[in-house]
Structure 1
Amino acid sequence: MTGQAGPGGAGTTVTRRALLGAAALAGAAAALPGAAADAARRRRHKRKRKKRKHPKRPVHRKPAGARSADVVVVGAGLAGLSTARRVAAAGRSVLVVEARSRVGGRTLNHDVGGGVIAEAGGEYVGPTQDHILGLAKEVGVDTFPTYDPAGSNNLYYAGGSKQTYSDSSPLGTAPPDPLAVSDVAAVVAQLDQMSTSVPVDAPWTASSATSWDMQTLETWLRSNSSGNQRFMNLASVATRAIFGAEPREISLLYTLFYIASAGNETNPGTFERLFDTPNGAQQFRLVGGSQQISLRVAAALGDRVLLGHPVRRVVQTSGGVQVQGDGVTVNAKRAVVAIPPTLAGRIDYQPQLPPLRDQLTQRVPQGILIKAEAVYDRPFWRDAGFNGTTVSDTDPANVTFDNTPPSGTPGILFCFIGGDAARKWTQVSDTDRKNAVLANFATYYGDAARSPRDYFEMNWSSELWTRGCPVGLFGPGQLLEYGPFLRPPVGPIHWAGTETSTYWMGYMDGAVRSGERAAREVLAEL
């Protein structure tokens, strides 16, 4: 998912000026449904309501300069912005408080020059991701196919040898390694079947939830396959790219839920949809980069989005809730905390959160993932019939994709570095890591790959307000015991973020879904 030019650095920082530019592109009316009728709606909502009885809460005086809204949202990623958009469209007042000087959360556009954008964070969309695709359409962001034309080849590199293959085979993007193919086919079929018994809204209630959450994915794989090293290497490559983790770090129940969630209300999830490009989660990209969606929504919200104000404290009050951030205080009737659980746990809550909700935030670490990208004058690998997709047993670049813009130039090749590979290669210098990545690219596609005109990375684990990617992880025992506390509100405090989604957890679609769900919750209480 990501891009960094140095330690702790990021790709292009998008500021308030960029939001104004996005407003000119999108238009407030296009990005915010019913904007013209907001004032009328607000007048209609000024009716008397019966006073509700609440437990006694501390009374906090409104500090000088504090702002007020019906709803305050913490976090201006896709989840938080989706919440705010729906709340505003319903005629309610809303403010979004964001720690960074940009919007977009785990999506980030990086300008490689000449107005060309490469995604340094989440970028792909695909079938059954109806909510992110719907939002993109509403704000005027088009999709285009990931480069994978008919007749092009994927590359598999293992044991020092190259093998080309088509992802139109029954295995999809998974390589047909003769030493692992039978294990891959059998294991994927079994995981898909098991996942059908996992309720996406409550995976901890599955009939086998206890036994599945007592073991890691790796334990199960070794017990249900030949366990040969080539197969286990492929399993690791898959989980590094999908979770930013190794198979030993995630529970079997969590894995099955993740598979089940890779669908929608009418199409059951499958592992193939997670991993594949054709008909999978990597099928399409977004014109102008994925962050463009957040930029356009934020532009429509205008000064309701407050950037550069890390939230330090959330206080329940007699009137609802008070959010205290650096340089800003917001009083509201309801709050939506739309950030990863591990970040939500770093906020000071008064009164303290219920113990099990608090414990949850201590048990869902972010995955570790680096996205490294090389920029060339042209995508030379296409000349040999390659589509840029590589699966490899060699670190650090285990998985690569063609990230070239729709115009065809410049050529951009990126890799994911996740799990053990990320832990190892974050401990070397930036130069050594870059050289290792380019050496891998050259092994796969020839010496021309050693000399890009530009190279950048994003290490999301060094990003202060994300602390890892692509998603929060549940190890053995965690989903069963603490999963039930992911979504339920705590008083006037509601929760959003892709980790709270029932479908497409860990993806942009899950973020949008979670924001829309949180908006429904708060609107029902106002």
Structure 2
Amino acid sequence: MEHSDVVIVGAGLSGLAAAWRLREAGARSVVVLEGRPAAGGRAAASGAPLPDGVPPASMYARRTDRDLLDLASALDVPVDELPDDPALSDLRIDEDGESEASDEHMPLDSSWWTLLRNEWILGRIARRCEGIDFAEPWRSANAEKLDALTVRGWLRSHTSDPELLELVEEQLTLAAALPADRISMLWLLAHLGPTPARGERPLRLDPDLLVRRLAAWAGDDLRTGHHVSRIEHGGERALLHGDWGSLSADHVVIAVPPSDADRLDMTPAPAPSRRRLQRQWPQTEVIRTEIVYWRPFWRGFGLSGELHFDDGIPAWTIDDSPSESSQGRLVAHTYTFGEADPLGADQSIADDPDRHRALLLDNLSGVLGPLAADPVSLHQTLPDSTPYSRAYQSPMPPGFLTEFGPLMRAPVGPLRWAATETAVFPCNGTLNGAVSSGYRAAEEVLAEVASHA
């Protein structure tokens, strides 16, 4: 049987980053197994048919995302700032379909007192972030108390202003992609980070180019179409099996989300606590739609392309028009939780792609005019039947972090865990988290090798 020092399961960004770090450190034999026909996982191109010269849609980073930005630099992947023209206006569309220009995504009829109180509440949240252990939030002071609270419960204990509650909940829903009544306060504080960003323009990069260059660098060490169905790890070596055959390894890095890891048949079976972690792992479903037009015509109307719909289809859009092309592109995000929540939508749209497309274009043409109804291409990322997850964000419900947090990165025999869901906060659930989690798993393997040298 073929043997490798390290086998990495999953060639998404975290798995490829783990291979990169291991090879940099001089690891002798590293094999990366990927079930899909191509590497990249959730960072790969969506497969949308694009006009000539239009690159895949961007993903976003912050200036503090050093692991991601340094890796992009090493692979010569361009990073630029998302353009911001102060002369262009955003639009908010209310529940009656009326639109008004806005620079701050705030309801224009909000009173100065509500806006001031909004800053006060967000300031209180920022100060609470200062006491969080971002590597292990479950070890923070008052962790159990904070984890038992929903964000909505915390907000309502600090204000009785209904306008303020709606405003802050909407802002936090945009940040977390889940309503405030479903999120642990401890998770939110860890997610926001020690210095929550306010008004900072994100950086953007082409994640598909990043993973393609990582895959090219990996060469023959990367094997696509190799879905791992079973892992045996009770002896001195781990054995990995699939329709393609079998491999043995001294160390295994599982670079897939915990929910996907639960589909692996393992011998010996995971401890009950680890199995509960995998089976209960939360994920939020966001329909991400890339809409390409012949040109960014909304700019000619004095609009930025950032649209916030209160009627749910879509929750919000952003202008991601490629700088090296004349085409325009809007990226729309539709949340799939119920209409009763801020930014909620009719949940049936996730089951009917044609209906979602029609409602989306109808909403866009209602505010941008008939040009919005005739895109060059449109691609929706909807839930599908593949055995691989697509959601990055994992907003955690009350009690989850303190119960399962200590297990997220705990090794199981020769198995180490990567994927952005295992990264430290606040980069957990981001592209930078994918890279850093791969690096951390690689360092764990290297430390284990050194200890037996």
One fold, TM greater than 0.5? Answer: yes
Q: Does the 8 A contact of 2:90 with 2:103 survive in 1?
A: yes
2:419 match: 497
Q: Does the 8 A contact of 1:221 with 1:227 survive in 2?
A: no
Unpaired segments of 5 or more residues in structure 1? 1-65, 168-172, 261-267
Deviation at 1:521, TM superposition (A): 0.5
What CA deviation, in whole Å up to 9, does each residue of 1:151-204 have, x standing for no partner?
32222223443232335xxxxx66665155345323321211111111011101
Aligned partner of residue 334 in structure 2, secondary structure: strand
Aligned partner of residue 106 in structure 1, secondary structure: helix
1:59 match: none
Aligned partner of residue 229 in structure 2, secondary structure: strand
Aligned partner of residue 436 in structure 2, secondary structure: helix
Aligned pairs for 1:176-325 (under 5 A) are: 178=110, 181-226=115-160, 228=162, 231-232=165-166, 235-236=169-170, 238-239=172-173, 241-260=174-193, 268-270=194-196, 272=197, 276=199, 279-280=200-201, 283-286=202-205, 289-325=206-242
Label 1:201 to 1:428 Cα distance change in 2 as closer, same or farther (>3 A).
closer
Q: Does the 8 A contact of 2:283 with 2:391 survive in 1?
A: yes
Aligned partner of residue 310 in structure 1, secondary structure: coil
What CA deviation, in whole Å up to 9, does each residue of 1:497-526 have, x standing for no partner?
111111411110011010011111001112
Distance 1:176 1:495 in 2: 46
2:269 match: 352
1:376 match: 293
Match of 2:252 among 335, 340, 365: 335
Aligned pairs for 1:88-99 (under 5 A) are: 88-92=23-27, 93-99=29-35
Corresponding position: 1:388 with 2:305: yes
* RMSD over equivalenced CA pairs, Å: 2.2
Label 1:111 to 1:328 Cα distance change in 2 as closer, same or farther (>3 A).
farther
1:162 match: 99
Corresponding position: 1:86 with 2:24: no
Distance 1:524 1:404 in 2: 44
2:341 match: none
Corresponding position: 1:150 with 2:76: no
Q: Does the 8 A contact of 1:314 with 1:322 survive in 2?
A: yes
The count of corresponding residues between Structure 1 and Structure 2 is: 436
Aligned partner of residue 50 in structure 2, secondary structure: strand
Label 1:455 to 1:293 Cα distance change in 2 as closer, same or farther (>3 A).
same
Match of 2:282 among 365, 374, 397: 365
Aligned pairs for 1:389-468 (under 5 A) are: 389-420=306-337, 421=344, 424-427=347-350, 429-459=352-382, 461-462=383-384, 464-468=386-390
Aligned partner of residue 113 in structure 1, secondary structure: coil
Q: TM-score, normalised by structure 1?
A: 0.78
Distance 1:468 1:216 in 2: 26
Unpaired segments of 5 or more residues in structure 2? 338-343
Aligned partner of residue 144 in structure 1, secondary structure: strand
Corresponding position: 1:513 with 2:446: no
Aligned partner of residue 250 in structure 2, secondary structure: strand
Distance 2:257 2:345 in 1: 20
Label 1:236 to 1:385 Cα distance change in 2 as closer, same or farther (>3 A).
same
Q: Does the 8 A contact of 2:287 with 2:350 survive in 1?
A: no
1:103 match: 39
Letter in 1 for 2:439: E
